[in-house]
Chains A and B, each alone.
Chain A
Amino acid sequence: GDSVTQMEGPVTLSEEAFLTINCTYTATGYPSLFWYVQYPGEGLQLLLKATKADDKGSNKGFEATYRKETTSFHLEKGSVQVSDSAVYFCALIGIQGAQKLVFGQGTRLTINP
């Protein structure tokens, strides 16, 4: 079945550092790919998404590019802020069957001032 693998956390960085959170997937065809963010004590918010190969999703300075050849959707940000501290989830919706999000295990990110 479909699956998503994210880099193990937790990740701790200093403010203004460069961020990469790796995400790879296994799925049939061209699934849609998503990054969701969960701030402490809150629900999930969509951060960005891409629905076809080579698409780049971007929002709030974060970017991720849909790479079919490496089945990856790595999240990047050039300069992180303390307010980016959260848990980040990579997820996909497969092209077959019902629309269900399949999530990675989440990566906890802490940014120190």
Chain B
Amino acid sequence: DTAVSQTPKYLVTQMGNDKSIKCEQNLGHDTMYWYKQDSKKFLKIMFSYNNKELIINETVPNRFSPKSPDKAHLNLHINSLELGDSAVYFCASSQAPGGYRETQYFGPGTRLLVL
């Protein structure tokens, strides 16, 4: 009965590779997000989609490309991985109608290590 799930949980790869992280939510939410947590635990928004439409795109390198095939899924593709991309990536989802009052529910995270 996982609400927000991510795969894989761990990802170890070499510099220069391309990788994808998948996220799925079964909460019926309209909005999904990607956050990045760095080595100092600091969390920052990367992207947000509402009903498959991109609504937030923070200053993220264009090597990162989100894709939302439907409103229950939001994937993150990363090209040409760099050492600095090593982090924990969290997917989250929320309802749209309540706007800024809505709670965002987080997945378990994907721990990416670039060697």
Taking CB atoms, residues of chain A closer than 8 Å to B83 are none
A89 and B45 in contact, given A43-B90, A46-B103 (Cβ under 8 angstroms): no
Cβ-based interface call for A103 (8 A): yes
Instruction: Write out, one digit per residue, whether chain A residues 40-61 have a CB within 8 A of any chain B CB (1) or not (0).
Output: 0011111001010000000000
Give which listed residue, B40, B42, B45, contacts A101 with CB less than 8 A: B45
Whole-angstrom distance between the alpha carbons of A63 and B99 in the complex? Answer: 23
Whole-angstrom distance between the alpha carbons of A102 and B35 in the complex? Answer: 10
A100 touches B108 (CB 8 A): no
A: number of interface residues (CB 8 Å): 27
Give which listed residue, B40, B96, B100, contacts A93 with CB less than 8 A: B100
- Chain B interface residue number, banded: 20 to 34
Instruction: Write out, one digit per residue, whether chain A residues 57-69 have a CB within 8 A of any chain B CB (1) or not (0).
Output: 0000000000000
Interface residues, chain B, with chain A CB atoms under 8 Å away: 31, 33, 35, 40-45, 48, 55-56, 58, 90, 92, 94, 96, 99-109
Interface residues, chain A, with chain B CB atoms under 8 Å away: 31-32, 34, 36, 38, 42-46, 49, 51, 87, 89, 91, 93-95, 98-103, 105-106, 108
Between-chain CB contacts (< 8 Å), 20 pairs: A32-B101, A34-B103, A38-B41, A44-B90, A44-B106, A45-B106, A49-B103, A51-B101, A91-B43, A95-B100, A98-B48, A98-B55, A100-B33, A101-B35, A101-B104, A102-B45, A103-B42, A103-B43, A105-B41, A106-B43
